[in-house]
Amino acid sequence: MRPLSRLNVEITVPGSKSYTARALVIGALACRETLLKNHLRSADTAHMLQGLEALGAKFLETPQGLLIRGMGGKLFVPTEPISLGGAGTAVRFLTTAASLCGRRVVIDGSQRMRERPIQDLLDALRPLGIVARSLNRNGCPPVVIEGGQFEGGKTKLRGSKSSQFLSSILLASPYAREGVEVEVTESLVSQSYVDLTMAIMRDFGAQVTHENYRIFRVLPGSYLGREYMIEGDFSSASYFFAAAAVTGGRVRVRGINPCTKQGDRGLLDVLEAMGCRVSYGDSSVEVTGGSLRGVDVDMKTMPDSVQTLAVVAAFAEGTTHVSGIEHLQYKETDRLASLKQELEKLGIQATVGDNCLTVRGGRPHGAEIETYMDHRMAMAFAVAGLRVPEIVIRDSECVNKSFPAFWALLEELE
């Protein structure tokens, strides 16, 4: 990494990872064809495509976009276990979708994936007629879906570890034999991602409602294939907004929706509170850096931006206190422990509590940053390298999980 002398750029980020993952599942389940435009191409989406193809879905890259030949909810039985690498979203979403095969399916992942809990989802599926279990009996993948039918009915789901468990059930629920009702117990984390799930489901014709984010209902039916534009990714944009913040420069990101349901849009409000200037266009957002100050913020709805904010906070005057983030320990790595360790390498004091992270701003210095093969660690700490010399990012290729073009875009800055 090398620091920038100035920053005044306009860039375009790739399609949303969250929208792409949900649209791929819905398109595969839908009646008729779906054409996805501006979909994200990354390691995680490749794993999702691979998993859906194993279940019988057909995909074709065309000049207009990705053509999906929907299966109307009638999936094939794979001949081998479906291995999805480190793609946690694919593992969770396909655990419920694979139940539509009505036969035994095994879903597996990388070694880290085998350490990430999924038992809450498996427990919630049983009352709906889906018998699924952890093969190693530790509540983690590999997952075995034993067969049976997605009958529907009522179930309860703990919402404190991952909103993707709820999204997994909702996405497949139009194809249950009867309506599905999910009661969320405990506090629902990352609520914004559930909003996004429901919005896409409705865009494809599903009937889904909720009562105060505690009771969710999906009526029997089907998805109808259509042409669908994937909006730009706010998580990817966040690193460039942060670049403007730490360098005092200006970044305009095109191709994103200022009124998006993506939770990471909330980082813009945080940056504004820290002293940046934010302005909005019809399909763009511009951030100009200013004198940064620490803030207190609840990031329950924008967990993927916590690492980005922590790096910005390292350059701010005063202390930044981040709460609502206890579930980050279940991500690609234990993100709270990793953040503390890597910030301290930069000479920045950081403290981790049960549900919070506190960062005391200072004068970061160069260091070799361990990413733990976590794409968001790599991209967040790369931002620090735009201002501080001699920052080295290890295993930098891990960004391919969500943003393969990240390093190329970063080199174009100035």
Per DSSP, the residues of 325-379 read -GGGGGSSS-HHHHHHHHHHHTT-EEEE-SSEEEEE------EEEP-TT-HHHHH
* Helix residue spans in 55-145 (DSSP H): 88-97, 119-125
Instruction: Specify the pairing of strand 319-323 against strand 356-360.
Output: antiparallel
Question: Measuring CA to CA, which residue among 63, 106, 107 is closest to residue 84?
Answer: 107
Q: Which of the following is catalytic: 296, 304, 354, 374?
A: 304
- In one-letter notation, the amino acid at residue 344 is E
203: exposed, middle or buried (Cβ count in 10 Å: 0-12, 13-18, 19+): middle
Other CB atoms within a 10 A radius of the CB of residue 172 amount to 28
Rounded Cα gap, residues 119 and 138, in angstroms: 8
Q: What is the 3-state secondary structure (H, E, C) of 218-267?
A: ECCCCCECCEEECCECHHHHHHHHHHHHHHCCEEEEECCCCCCCCHHHHH
Rounded Cα gap, residues 150 and 109, in angstroms: 24
Residue 304 is among the residues annotated as catalytic for this protein: yes
What are the catalytic residues? 304
